[in-house]
A and B are shown apart, each in its own frame.
Chain A
Amino acid sequence: MTATWKNPISAFDPEKPVEEVVTNDYLSPQSQWDAVRAYNVPTYEVGRLRYYHKWGGHGARLWSRLRYWPTRRRVLDISGEYNAKTLRRQKTIEDKRPIWWVLALLALAIVPFFIPENQQNALLTAGAVFGIYAAINLCWMLIIGTAGIYSLATYAVVGAAAYGTAYLSIHLGLPWWAMPLIGSIIGLVFGVIIAIPATRLEGFYYALLTLGLVELCRVYVLQSREFGSATGGLFGADSYIPQAWPQHDQLMLGYYAGLALMILALFLFRFVNGKRLGRVLRMAPEKREAFAEATGVNYRAARIQVFLISSLALGFIGGFYSTHFRGAAPNLFSFDTMLLSLSMLVIGGLGRSEGAVLGTLIVVFIDRVLVDWGPMRFVLIGTLMLLVVLFLRGGLFGIKEQFRAWRDKKKSENRSSRAEKGGEMLPEEATETPNKDIIYFRRFDKMQRDFLKKLITPELIEEHRKRPLGQHSEALERVLTYFRRQPLNDKYAITVIEPFKSYRIVALSGSRGVAPRLVEDKTYGTPDEAYHALFMRRVQDLLES
């Protein structure tokens, strides 16, 4: 702001020194134009389109022929196309989830060989528990997510099967391999009993009722002498883990059996959720049942079918549970078990299998491995659950989707907040105006005023105060030219009250025959003072506009 302007007219009179005035740095009028036209929406590298890595070469047809039994599903969803620029053949993996699944399952399969010696017991036991709970949660996810039945009686089915098979094994000598099978029959029977009210009751009435059923089971088991009310559970059932083996081998067998159970449950989830039943039920989400029914989708039958299939599987898991732990304990029915399991589903994300598995992994890790924390670990789990429910829409696996939605929202907000784009007129006004030149004139005028506002500095005002008339610096000249060009109505002018003695500022009316009006009471002694006062009024009006 300390540039100097040399008066070019000084050259006419070389005797005198060159007149110099402190003024603004040169500011290009183009800068305002550039600022207004700049695209100031934050953009991201890839933008709205998703980025897919392109693999070279042919082979997409080969991948699409590779199906796995007994479905006709492809192993990987790969599409092939020609690159539009290079005209080379390329492949795109449309869905990478199978790869992640295989990697994760491989990691789970080899992780026992990398556990340090001193933690092997705790971690392998926790791993087996993880497999069983993940299987239960996957079946529960089928009921809650796919079928949309808010049943909290999952553990009633599992526990009933576990208790029933343990009882049969202890008293009738049922071998371990028969226990999951008998368990699935018990589970199916229980499923039928629990499913009867589901035909009539709506969402939450059913949830509360099933909560009561679990409580009923718990109280019954706690009081019943046959089911071990005295010993705190029913123990001594046959187990698939040979007692004679060394402890480490027993734990390894338990871990891999749990993992196998989880993989079976994953296949069940895939075959129910990803095939006909799942399709039918996705057609009839909550509050759109009437529409689905009207289009001929029998969603009630599909729901009950899913419920019965899951109950069968839950019974199987219950039988496995009792052979794994050699019995059953009443804490299967406790409110806390149900709560922990629900937290597993919620943390991972309702409705997806990866959510159930990841949630189970997190919660079982906190629950079984961080045992030293005492009750604080449940506080941690509860806090996690609360945070997930309060801030996330679809659990941990929904974060990506939610972030994308949020980013798109912010983008469109920014786009709509750039109101200057429409000029100095409201959109309705702009469409109503017959002379469209006015729109463009106002837009230009606003840009010009915005630019001139940047030129108003103390130096400029000081320069005008010293010499209101005559040659001026470039910046002051721009400002004055703009002021002179304003329309006549309400334009400021100076009226002479008494020549060389008294001047006042008036505003012109803009129409012939109407006298100017006074704008202030002040009188000025010299024309220069009056000129400067008038300039200051205009500057003030400019800055206020």
Chain B
Amino acid sequence: MNWGFVIANAITLACIYGTLAIGLSITWSSLGLINMAYGFIFALSGYGAWLAAQHVSANGFIVMAAGILTGAAGGLLVCALAFIPIHDKPNFTVRGMIATLAVSLVGNQALLWYFGPRAKSLPQLFGASQTSIFGVVMTADKIGAVVSSVVLLSAVLLWMRSSRRGLEIRAMMMNPHAASIVGIGVRRTGFYVMALTGGLAGLASVLLSQTYYVGPFSGITPMVKGLSVALCGGLGSVFGAVIAAALLGINEAMTSVVFGGQYVLITQFALIILILLIRPRGIAGILDKAREA
């Protein structure tokens, strides 16, 4: 067993799942919406990137941009269908979750109907070169995935810290009711947030498609993993999601080395359940300050 290889793999996966988890986390904390259509956005942006690679250019930058833009468009679609009509209605949290599930059902089946069940593969975005870092052989796509997700995530977090729109989103995360009182438009912010998180899903989709394929249902497993990372880190906390992603990445690496690959999910869920039993609102979630749905 090559330790370096496993750790590099785990870091790559942790970066990708962290991206997904942060998207879910921001959506939940600012809008109060559990976006179960995230898997659909993921698959949709995969197809968007694939179409761009087929018809426009196989240039890595263009393919990635196409994926992110399709993801943002998918986020806007979900927002218009599942957030805008019911966000002020009674029982929004349950209805929002069911509405996003319905969007996901319709969307995934529409993808299946339009593109067919055969999986598509994206071109290699970062080339096929290999480098050796500290004696560990890293392929270009892994380095590219880590670097691009870290760069884009930090850009998003910086934007959220320093811009006017980011301030609005953070205000919504702290207290949506008070934010709407001081004049932050809930619907407008909803569109920003969903476009942003959709873009993150698009990024994760393009990066993950370097190892896996693009298919109509390829988004379900990453969404479940992203959800568990977000859950473990505490819904609504970006910092917690980062810690949880790192923890689960390490767990994945350790389990594959010690027990074998098929036990990864079992230990992962055991770990998540353990963490949640100790801290019911996740690692960084504070019990009293959590969003009241």
Instruction: List the A side residues contacting B91 at CB < 8 Å.
Output: 393
- Please tell me if the beta carbons of B113 and A209 are within 8 angstroms of each other in the complex: no
- Please tell me if the beta carbons of A375 and B265 are within 8 angstroms of each other in the complex: no
Q: Report how many residues on chain A are interfacial, defined by Cβ distance under 8 Å.
A: 42
- Please tell me if the beta carbons of A212 and B110 are within 8 angstroms of each other in the complex: no
Say yes or no for B183: interface residue by CB 8 A criterion: no
Pick from A374, A379, A386: contact of B81, CB below 8 A.
A386
Most buried by B among A202, A335, A383: A335
Flag B267-293 by CB within 8 Å of A: 1 or 0 each: 001001100110011100000000001
- Please tell me if the beta carbons of A208 and B113 are within 8 angstroms of each other in the complex: no
Pick from B34, B102, B110, B269: contact of A386, CB below 8 A.
B102
CA gap between A200 and B275 in the complex, in Å: 11
Instruction: List the B side residues contacting A223 at CB < 8 Å.
Output: 262
Say yes or no for B206: interface residue by CB 8 A criterion: no
Say yes or no for B139: interface residue by CB 8 A criterion: no
Say yes or no for B93: interface residue by CB 8 A criterion: yes
Flag B87-122 by CB within 8 Å of A: 1 or 0 each: 000110111011101111111111011000000000
Segment touching B, from A88-96, A213-221, A435-443: A213-221
- Please tell me if the beta carbons of A203 and B99 are within 8 angstroms of each other in the complex: no
- Please tell me if the beta carbons of A389 and B281 are within 8 angstroms of each other in the complex: no
Instruction: List the A side residues contacting B221 at CB < 8 Å.
Output: 215
Pick from A205, A207, A340: contact of B280, CB below 8 A.
A205
- Please tell me if the beta carbons of A335 and B220 are within 8 angstroms of each other in the complex: yes
CB-based A-B contact count at 8 angstroms: 122
Flag B164-206 by CB within 8 Å of A: 1 or 0 each: 0000000000000000000000000000000000000000000
Q: What's the dominant secondary structure at chain B's contact region?
A: helix
CA gap between A220 and B262 in the complex, in Å: 8
Q: What's the dominant secondary structure at chain A's contact region?
A: helix
CA gap between A53 and B269 in the complex, in Å: 58
- Please tell me if the beta carbons of B98 and A374 are within 8 angstroms of each other in the complex: no
- Please tell me if the beta carbons of B109 and A343 are within 8 angstroms of each other in the complex: no
Most buried by A among B85, B95, B224: B224
Say yes or no for B254: interface residue by CB 8 A criterion: no
Say yes or no for A378: interface residue by CB 8 A criterion: yes
Q: Report how many residues on chain B are interfacial, defined by Cβ distance under 8 Å.
A: 47
Instruction: List the B side residues contacting A207 at CB < 8 Å.
Output: 34, 97
- Please tell me if the beta carbons of B104 and A379 are within 8 angstroms of each other in the complex: no
- Please tell me if the beta carbons of A200 and B272 are within 8 angstroms of each other in the complex: no
Q: Which of A177-234 contact B (CB under 8 A)?
A: 196-197, 200-205, 207-209, 211-213, 215-216, 219-220, 223-224
Q: Which of B218-263 contact A (CB under 8 A)?
A: 220-221, 224, 227-228, 230-231, 235, 262
Instruction: List the B side residues contacting A343 at CB < 8 Å.
Output: 101-102, 105
What is the minimal beta-carbon distance from B241 to any residue of chain A, in angstroms? 13
Instruction: List the B side residues contacting A390 at CB < 8 Å.
Output: 85-86, 95, 99
CA gap between A339 and B109 in the complex, in Å: 12
Say yes or no for A147: interface residue by CB 8 A criterion: no
- Please tell me if the beta carbons of B110 and A375 are within 8 angstroms of each other in the complex: yes
> Given A200-B277, A339-B105, A389-B102, A208 and B95 touching (CB < 8 A)?
no
Say yes or no for A342: interface residue by CB 8 A criterion: yes
Say yes or no for B133: interface residue by CB 8 A criterion: no
Say yes or no for A236: interface residue by CB 8 A criterion: no
- Please tell me if the beta carbons of A382 and B277 are within 8 angstroms of each other in the complex: no
- Please tell me if the beta carbons of A216 and B266 are within 8 angstroms of each other in the complex: yes
Instruction: List the A side residues contacting B85 at CB < 8 Å.
Output: 390
What is the minimal beta-carbon distance from B244 to any residue of chain A, in angstroms? 13
What is the minimal beta-carbon distance from A381 to any residue of chain B, in angstroms? 7
CA gap between A336 and B228 in the complex, in Å: 19
Say yes or no for A385: interface residue by CB 8 A criterion: yes
What is the minimal beta-carbon distance from A230 to any residue of chain B, in angstroms? 15
CA gap between A410 and B162 in the complex, in Å: 47
What is the minimal beta-carbon distance from A391 to any residue of chain B, in angstroms? 8
- Please tell me if the beta carbons of B227 and A211 are within 8 angstroms of each other in the complex: yes
> Given A212-B227, A219-B265, A379-B113, A342 and B277 touching (CB < 8 A)?
no
Say yes or no for A376: interface residue by CB 8 A criterion: yes
Most buried by A among B90, B95, B102, B277: B102
- Please tell me if the beta carbons of B90 and A393 are within 8 angstroms of each other in the complex: yes
What is the minimal beta-carbon distance from A390 to any residue of chain B, in angstroms? 5
CA gap between A378 and B107 in the complex, in Å: 10
Say yes or no for A261: interface residue by CB 8 A criterion: no
Flag A315-347 by CB within 8 Å of B: 1 or 0 each: 000000000000000000001100110110010
Pick from B105, B107, B224, B262: contact of A215, CB below 8 A.
B224
Q: Which of B68-82 contact A (CB under 8 A)?
A: 81-82
- Please tell me if the beta carbons of B276 and A212 are within 8 angstroms of each other in the complex: no
Q: A200: nearest residue on chain B (CB-CB)?
A: B280
Pick from A215, A378, A386: contact of B99, CB below 8 A.
A386
List 17 additional A-B contacts (Cβ < 8 Å) besides A216-B269, A346-B98, A375-B109: A197-B276, A202-B280, A204-B235, A208-B228, A209-B228, A211-B227, A212-B224, A212-B231, A223-B262, A336-B105, A343-B101, A378-B106, A379-B109, A382-B106, A386-B106, A389-B86, A393-B91
Chain B residues close to A by CB (< 8 Å): 34, 39, 81-82, 85-86, 90-91, 93-95, 97-99, 101-110, 112-113, 217, 220-221, 224, 227-228, 230-231, 235, 262, 265-266, 269, 272-273, 276-277, 280-282, 293
Chain A residues close to B by CB (< 8 Å): 150, 196-197, 200-205, 207-209, 211-213, 215-216, 219-220, 223-224, 335-336, 339-340, 342-343, 346, 350, 374-376, 378-379, 381-383, 385-386, 389-390, 393
Can you list 8 A-B contacts with CB-CB less than 8 angstroms, sorted by A residue number?
Answer: A197-B277, A205-B231, A205-B276, A219-B265, A339-B104, A385-B102, A386-B102, A389-B99
